[in-house]
Amino acid sequence: MTTDIYRGEKLRLVAMNSETDAPLMNKWRRDSEYARLLDSDPVRLFNTAQNKEWIEKMQKAEAFEGIELIMRTLDEDKPIGFVALDGISWHNGISWVGIGIGERDYWSKGYGTEAMHLIARYAFEELGLHRLSLNVFSYNTRAIRAYEKVGFKVEGTVREAVHRDGKRWDVIFMGLLREEFSM
């Protein structure tokens, strides 16, 4: 009760603001290296109005099946990326988790690890979930290392599931159980 679980040592997680975050997501996505790491769908560009509508639709949804939060640095209060729970299944006690750091200057500095730790703590301590799942492209070794630091374990490899730049890449599946996570 005495700890603000939305806050870590380097950053905090805040609700998305459809006015200010919509243009930011637009800007981040134009970095195609960033956008292609988010998922295996062909990268698309959305305008600010589309992003705004997407955020508002999600925030108005009646069923709580997911949440997207913005990562803000504690020292400058700068929005640098997002972290999300997606496809929460309450009867199974599970959710998917996703993350993206749109500001390249903040890559490989521990922000991703801390944001994953914060969203996992929220999922387990506040939502009472039992398990988090994610998948990651085999070439994204930076992300895999961060997920392992949070406690995620590799559960298998889906072979050649992504086709990009004329090559096929594996997708690694990872899972984290509540009892394996140290708050």
Partner 1 sequence: MDKPLFTAPHICLTAIDAKDDAAALATWTQDSRYIPLAEIGKAPHPLSELQAKEMLEGILKESDEKRNTFWFAIRTPDEKEMLGIIGLSWVDWANSAVYMDLSMKDTAEYSQPSTREALELIQRYVFHEIQMHRLSLNVPEYNEALIEALTVLGFEQEVRKRETLYRFGRRWDSLHFGRMARDWEKQIS
Binding site for partner 1 (CB under 8 A): 40-42, 87, 89, 91-94, 130-131, 133, 155-163, 168, 173, 175, 177
Kindly tell me which of 27 and 163 has the beta carbon lying closer to partner 1.
163
| Least CB distance to partner 1 at residue 159 (A) | 6
Distance, in Å, from the CA atom of 75 to the CA atom of 70, rounded to the nearest integer, reads 15
Q: Where are the alpha helices (DSSP H) in the chain?
A: 18-29, 32-38, 48-60, 111-121, 141-150
Least CB distance from residue 54 to partner 1, whole Å? 17
Terminal CA-CA length for the chain? 14
- What is the nearest approach in angstroms of partner 1 to the Cβ of residue 162? 5
Longest dimension (CA), the chain: 52
Question: 147 with 117: CB under 8 angstroms?
Answer: no
Q: Given the complex with partner 1, which of 77 and 180 has the nearer CB atom?
A: 180
- In the bound state with partner 1, the residue whose beta carbon lies nearer, of 54 and 173, is 173
